[in-house]
Amino acid sequence: MSNDAELSTVDPEIFDLIQKEDARQRDKLRLIPSENYAYPAVMEACGSSLNNKYSEGYAGRRYYEGQQNIDGVENLAKERLQQLFGVDHANVQPYSGSPANLAVYFAFCKPGDPVLGMGLPSGGHLTHGWNVSISGKFFDAKQYGVRKDDLLIDFDEVASLAKEHSPKLIWCGATAYPRVIDFAKFAQIAEDVGAILVADISHISGLVAAGVHPSPVGHAGVISSTTHKTFRGPRGGMILCDAAHKKAIDRAVFPGLQGGPHNGTTAGIAIAAKLAMTDEFKTYAQRIVDDSRALAETLMGGGVDVVTGGSDNHLILCDLTSKNVPGKVAAQALDRAGIVCNYNSVPFDTRKPFDPSGIRLGTPAMAARGMGPAEMKQVGQWMTAVIDAPDDDATIERIAGEVTALCQQFPAPGV
């Protein structure tokens, strides 16, 4: 056997695990809001010869020869993103969402500088200044949250913290927030204290591209995002910014933080940006939101407490306190029924983060299979049945069979 033989020959163990993961992604309902099915064309680009090329630097100014094709790939990715989102500049080299955010800190802050972001317990991301993250350890991070009465972003708290601490950066955007983000309101607060507003649209970049969520462009001078969530591209990151911030951002990514860009990923971002300009994508993004609304309504109809009473985007947060089921128990029972979600803290949670009160759901992957509101109604009914009886193995087994049958009617793209 040659080491250059195909995967099934050189490593049957890994080959087998990938086959099984393909089957899992085909046969189960994937409701984790940060996940999706990347386009088949994106997967092709990620596994291509672009993987083999080093290209430190930027197009036209590389530290290696042989960039005849790579510059073209990176320029297409940049130009398409600039056109799609209507921004001056795009950097497509961040390895993922977290490194993109770290590059933003590095572009504008010194260690110890004040920054302001949404707290993790309210739905913010680790990288927005949470204490266990480098963003909370290396910077003087203050955290805003949501209001106790309606669980919406507390803009009075954002404004007062901003005034008190004069942060260099104000982060908006979230990882577990089911409502529209008011970028204009954040921009006003940032302007009042001379902070740069950074909109992290990792979860919603596909919705923003399609126009089903308001755009931060014109409000936030810097926009960061992953490329693999609602955007359906490869695992990667991007930073979009005003011309004034171009130099600082580019320098922070390379040579500040990273070495060579992942060129297969860059090609995948270019492909996803092209596809995000199509009518088919707009229909897809609208379906994500319609599905989320239908699923939230069905769950509420089944007596599930949905945080903020609904969803404007792709994401639903459920508080299972009134159902007397911990989030982890519910998530594990749902997984046995073929419905995959993640347990999650809810705002003002009285339980511990590793054993919280809620579950977090999202519709991007189901919408990518073509499932619509009618299917979400069915899914919501199954979920309610499992949440009401997480130990009822007979019901869970019956639902698991029905889930597989539904999945067979809606092929999973690319797996």
Ligand X SMILES: *Cc1c(COP(=O)(O)O)cnc(C)c1O
Binding piece for ligand X, criterion CB under 6 A, among 104-112, 149-157, 172-180, 302-310? 172-180
Q: Could you give the C-alpha distances from 60 to 71, 74, 92, 237, 262, in angstroms and in order?
A: 7, 11, 15, 21, 17
Q: Which of 93, 175, 215, 363 binds ligand X (CB under 6 A)?
A: 175
H or E segment and range at residue 170: strand 169-172
Q: Which of 135, 202, 292, 313 binds ligand X (CB under 6 A)?
A: 202
Q: Could you give the C-alpha distances from 169 to 105, 113, 139, in angstroms and in order?
A: 8, 9, 11
Q: Which of 74, 154, 200, 291 is catalytic?
A: 200
Residue 220 to residue 235: CA distance in whole angstroms: 24
Binding piece for ligand X, criterion CB under 6 A, among 106-114, 170-178, 278-286, 375-383? 170-178
* Of residues 199 and 367, the one with the C-beta less far from ligand X: 199
Q: Is 402 a catalytic residue?
A: no
Q: Which of 80, 105, 195, 200 binds ligand X (CB under 6 A)?
A: 200
Alpha helix positions (H), 86-195: 97-108, 134-137, 155-165, 183-193
- Note whether 114 and 140 are within 8 A (CB): yes
Binding mask 104-133 for ligand X (x = CB under 6 A): ---------------------x-x------
219 binds ligand X (CB under 6 A): no
Site for ligand X in 30-59 (CB under 6 A): 34
CB of 200 to ligand X, least distance (A): 4
Q: Which of 27, 35, 53, 54 is catalytic?
A: 54
Residues 6+ apart with CB under 8 A from 284: 206, 210, 367, 368
- Note whether 201 and 177 are within 8 A (CB): no
98 binds ligand X (CB under 6 A): yes
CB atoms within 10 A of CB 68: 7
Q: Which of 75, 82, 96, 321 binds ligand X (CB under 6 A)?
A: 96
* Of residues 314 and 323, the one with the C-beta less far from ligand X: 314
CB atoms within 10 A of CB 243: 9
203 binds ligand X (CB under 6 A): yes
Residue 120 to residue 135: CA distance in whole angstroms: 12
Q: Is 200 a catalytic residue?
A: yes
CB of 97 to ligand X, least distance (A): 2
Binding region for ligand X (CB under 6 A): 34, 96-98, 101, 125, 127, 173-175, 200, 202-203, 226
Which residues have a catalytic role annotated?
Answer: 54, 56, 200, 226, 229, 235
